[in-house]
Structure 1
Amino acid sequence: MKRFLSLITLLVLALSGQAQQYYLLVGTYTTGTSKGIYVYRFDASTGKTTPVGETDVENPSYLTFSPDGRFVYAVNENPSGTGGVTALSFDTLTGNLHLLNRQSSEGEFPCYVATDATGKWITVANYGGGNLSAYRVADDGSLGGSAQLIQHEGKGANAKRQEKPHVHSTVFTPDQRYVVSADLGLDKVYVYNFNPDMDEPLTPASTPTVSVRPGSGPRHIAFSPDHRYMYLITELSGEVHVFGYAKGRFTPIEHVPTVLKDTSADKGSADLHLSPDGRFLYASDRGNTNDIVVFEVHPGSGKLKRVGSVSCGGVTPRNFTIDPTGHFLLVANQRSDNVVIFKRDMQTGLLTPTGDQLQIGNPVCLKWWPVPSAH
């Protein structure tokens, strides 16, 4: 009996160890030394990475997986002219990517792409164009032309940065009934009904916009694991805004600074993510601070309490990610050409550099997919 239990224990440990293997995809700007999308294998029990391969793609500055992991979609944030969006197949057994097709993003400087839960639609945010577009996904993962293009209009309080609309993200709500789009230029989050059965799936919601203070610059959005709260980071004011969420309606709760010192007019706040258990929220600041800020989340109210910060280990932390187990946080530092790996304390939320990092030209997006247990 003891031998049987020992064998069961070894099997559970083996399966657990296998389950902690993930592919890490790194999107980059290719205006420097980078070639496109880089694939690594990441061991979440040790924090160690192994190179898998690389695929030539022009300026894949933001990536997303299809819900089943068979496809990857990348925006092509070209330095001038209309951008693109590229579809690639992804082999979950080998980690290899293969180009399927590319479509126009219908706007300048596309910076965000997202898929719905069915895998039949993607949405793209065009920062320079001030618009968002929706695309149908074919059964083979390729993209048709833009099925819908929505143009925002107006300008904001900051004459330098908000001279026109700047759509920075398009996020499907957890219930998949809406798409929320942060517009840095207009200090608004636009709310669209999402109907995947329609030829044009997006229509203005009954409450079509959520406003923040003039000059804030909305950028990225994250929903809490229990779906009760939406968190919005504002690039220009250096803040995280907390909203209650229910059925397409957003109730302001509070906003807290990520940058404590008034170091510059534009704080450069960039990205935010919640830990898998929802107990902590992390935010990145560029500007003069180049750090990752740690907030504890109050379970009853969604409010945030600052508990610490740590240097990002480089320059311009445009994007970061928490591995699915919650044990590590990785930061993509755009201007120092490195991805820095931090160990995450599950109880305090605080971060400690592991000493390991990846050297990649202009890394700006990090995405995970589990390695199949049979591999």
Structure 2
Amino acid sequence: MKKISILLSLFLVWSSAILAQAPQEFYVLVGTYTSKASKGIYVYKFNTATGELQFSSVVSGVKNPSFITLSPNQKFAYSVGETDGDGTVNAFSFDKQSGSLSFLNSESAGGAGPCHITTDRTGKWVIAGNYGGGSLSILPILGNGTVGKATQTIQHTGHSVNASRQEKPHVHSINVAPNNQDVFVPDLGVDKIYTYSLDTQKGLLNEGKPAYTSSIAGSGPRHFTFHPNGKWAYVIEELSATVTAYRYQKGGLKATQTISTLPADYTGKKWCADIHISPDGKFLYASNRSHESITVYAINTKTGQLTWVDNTNVAGKTPRNFAIDPTGNYILVANQDSDNITIFKRDKATGKFTYTGTSVEVSMPVCLQWANVK
């Protein structure tokens, strides 16, 4: 009996080891600008065991589907149509069997140059941020996955100290908190992070308490991310090349630290873009266009404070967006102006990452979103 028990234990250990080594695949949806060679939104399959990115499909017919998001059940995808005139919100069905998107319908985004989009956690509403128009709109998601006309459009007003970049409001991202109630909207043009309270029954955004959190004048708050513990949030500031850490509590944000994204001796253009946290919550990553790099910070697990770890070249030009794969083993970088996605292997212990030498050609990639294969 004892021998059988030992053999069973060994078998379970062996089985666990085999399963742990089994390849895990995910889809990567790639949003692009279509002003050059891109046809629209591309879908790739990524193997987390080999680091290989394999083409699955492309859907065309939408101009500049730059930023994309998925419904909570991942059966549908939504993109902006980032145009100078009245932009659009576009709906697609997502067939995971074939890894393909099919266009469903399109509605007005309620403003010019929509650059960011997200769904709420119920999957009933999609919210788009209009950079050019300085506004945001909330649209209903109907039973068949299509989007309806906006239930509300909110117009921001004002300006800030940078005359060429902050002459008017520029909404840059929409961020729904884990409670699906607090919605934070960084506005690069007015140096504010607006707060709204989401009414999921009516599809309305009510003014939060406080109505906004002020950023440092001239910083230009852009993208926003929550820590997995739900207690902290971080905002990357495009114009000052900084990241500000916040304590998130009861719908409000309290700044606790601001840290540079660039080496001390750098004197070139400051032009930050994207920000993400590793799945284990131990490291934060921030991208620098012009400097063509991603900066790594260690996160103090008790305080949320950041400590500089490293700065790595992205093997491309203009890292507009990047994504850490769900296993935490790889980082994929969308380099807008070198028309490629570069793949890096990530060290989970140190947070540092190294170029695998793999680069996939995609014209003007500007957004990467993960999806499960099944």
Whether TM exceeds 0.5 here: the answer is yes
- Please say if 1:63 is aligned against 2:65: no
Q: How does 1:217-232 map to 2 (within 5 A)?
A: 217-232=220-235
**TM-score normalised by length of structure 2:** 0.95
Q: How many residues align?
A: 368
Contact 1:233 1:270 in 2 (8 A): yes
Q: Which residue of 1 aligns with 2:176?
A: 172
How high is the TM-score relative to the length of structure 1? 0.95
Q: Does 1:192 align with 2:196?
A: yes
Give the counterpart of 2:161 among 128, 140, 157.
157
Q: 2:30 matched to 1:26? A: yes
Using the alignment, how far apart are the partners of 2:12 and 2:63 within structure 1? 48
Aligned-residue offset at 1:231? 0.1
| Alpha-carbon distance in structure 2 between the residues aligned to 1:66 and 1:185 | 29
**Distance of aligned partners of 1:21 and 1:9 in 2 relative to their CA distance in 1, 3 Å threshold:** farther
Alignment of structure 1 residues 210-221 onto 2, 5 Å: 210-221=213-224
Name structure 2 gaps, 5 residues minimum: none
2:204 aligned residue:
201
Aligned to 1:315: 317
Q: Answer yes or no: is 1:281 the counterpart of 2:308.
A: no
After superposition, the Cα gap between the structure-2 partners of 1:11 and 1:54, relative to the gap in structure 1 and judged at 3 Å, is farther
Q: In 1, Cα distance between the equivalents of 2:278 and 2:167?
A: 35
Percentage of matched positions with identical amino acids: 43
Q: Tell me which stretches of 4 or more aligned residues in structure 1 moved more than 3 Å.
A: 1-19
Shift of 1:62: 0.4
Instruction: State the distance in 1 between where 2:76 and 2:48 align.
Output: 23
Letter in structure 2 aligned against 1:218: P
Distance 1:18 1:122, change over 3 A: farther
Equivalent runs, 1:355-374 vs 2, <5 Å: 355-372=357-374
Instruction: Give the deviation of 1:262 after TM superposition.
Output: 5.0
Larger mean CA deviation between 267-276 and 46-55 belongs to: 46-55
Query: Which is worse superposed, 347-356 or 90-99?
Result: 90-99
Shift of 1:82: 1.1
Secondary structure of 2:66 counterpart: strand
Corresponding residue of 1:299: 301
SS of residue in 2 equivalent to 1:276: coil
* Alpha-carbon distance change, 319 to 6 in structure 1, aligned in 2, over 3 angstroms: same
CA contact (8 A) 1:281 1:294 kept: yes
2:115 alignment partner AA: C
CA gap of 1:14–1:108, structure 2 versus 1, over 3 A, is farther
Matches within 5 A, 1:31-110: 31-56=35-60, 57-78=62-83, 80-110=84-114
Partner of 2:201, secondary structure, is coil
